[in-house]
Structure 1
Amino acid sequence: MTTPSITASDWLNIDRPPAPEDFRGKVLAVEVFQMLCPGCVMHGLPQAQRLRQTFHADDLAVIGLHSVFEHHDGNSRESLAAFLHEWRIPFPVAIDAPGDGAMPRTMTDWGVQGTPTLVLIDRKGETRAMHLGQVADMALGAQVVELIREERPE
């Protein structure tokens, strides 16, 4: 399944919104999170940071997608920027655009059921895995290595 694009209202930790060609030929790990979600703070975001530290940037790009579907008043852009700074999260983070209801747009478009969710997208832009909740580091590392070893598209 080709991954739909990210519909963001804003981006943090990056000078300009990334374009699809910024990820061409790379495996992409997208950590879908809410800063007020305990599982995201304790498991999802630290795991995304470990992915970024473990794999070379030429092979794996890591970004965050802040998708708020509850506690909207406590999740402002300013609060998120402070959160990212305090937790030393260096990778680009998209702020998911509001949807028609309580669920944000990208979260709905991608079929994400909750947070934390880690989405793995292969070098061709196809969604290959969507992990809701905690996933073991060794299992995730094996999946990422398998995707990295696949042939790069021309």
Structure 2
Amino acid sequence: MTDMPELHAAEWLNAARPLALADFRGRVLAIEVFQMLCPGCVMHGLPQAGRIAQTFDSADVAVIGLHSVFEHHAANSREALAAFLHEWRIRFPVAIDAPGNGPLPRTMEAWQLQGTPTLVLIDREGRMRARHFGQVSDLALGAEIMALVGEDRS
């Protein structure tokens, strides 16, 4: 278990206001880190995030996306992302990762992520409890989320 460095969002889509990790305290938070031009993200990661949002009670589990671009920057504009989210009917809030000082976006670097798709699970207390790079089965992930939901809140 590690305390989470803050999410560094340049902008939010599908959100009425900028969000912070603290906004989700008291709930398990699933963060799907993706690029819209990543086949694994489109075929597996984002649909799985949508299933998490549909399956679990929003009082217990929140889902957000983090568009973290480290390649093909020109094709991954804010406007293209907004159209992508609309066309694919992705309704959960999505942060656009802030550019970093090097090749990696700020949050991706701070969280030491390997690439996309990555699913990060944060417990009710705001600690990173899992970081899954690549595809993870729905059954295993559901069990992992339920274990976090069922943890004592004290």
In angstroms, what is the RMSD of aligned CA positions? Answer: 0.8
User: Which digits, 9 at most, give the CA deviation of each residue in 1:7-40, with x for residues without a partner?
Assistant: 0110000110123442110000000000000000
Give the 5 Å matches for 1:4-153.
4-153=5-154
Does the 8 Å contact 2:22/2:126 carry over to 1? no
Q: For 1:79 and 1:110, locate their aligned partners in 2 and report how far apart those are by CA, in whole Å.
A: 25
Q: Shift in Å at residue 141 of structure 1?
A: 0.2
- Report the AA paired with residue 4 of structure 2: T
- Report the AA paired with residue 99 of structure 2: P
Q: For 2:150 and 2:69, locate their aligned partners in 1 and report how far apart those are by CA, in whole Å.
A: 34
Does the 8 Å contact 2:116/2:133 carry over to 1? yes
- Report the AA paired with residue 39 of structure 1: G
Q: For 1:19 and 1:8, locate their aligned partners in 2 and report how far apart those are by CA, in whole Å.
A: 9
Q: For 2:94 and 2:132, locate their aligned partners in 1 and report how far apart those are by CA, in whole Å.
A: 18
Aligned residues between the structures: 153
Q: TM-score, normalised to structure 1's length?
A: 0.97
Q: For 1:136 and 1:33, locate their aligned partners in 2 and report how far apart those are by CA, in whole Å.
A: 17
Q: For 1:152 and 1:82, locate their aligned partners in 2 and report how far apart those are by CA, in whole Å.
A: 39
Aligned residue for 2:148, secondary structure, equals helix
Aligned residue for 1:73, secondary structure, equals helix
Unaligned runs of 5+ in 1: none
Residues 50 and 17 of structure 1, relative CA distance in 2, 3 Å threshold? same
- Report the AA paired with residue 70 of structure 1: E
User: Which digits, 9 at most, give the CA deviation of each residue in 1:31-83, with x for residues without a partner?
Assistant: 00000000000000000000000000000000000000000010000000000
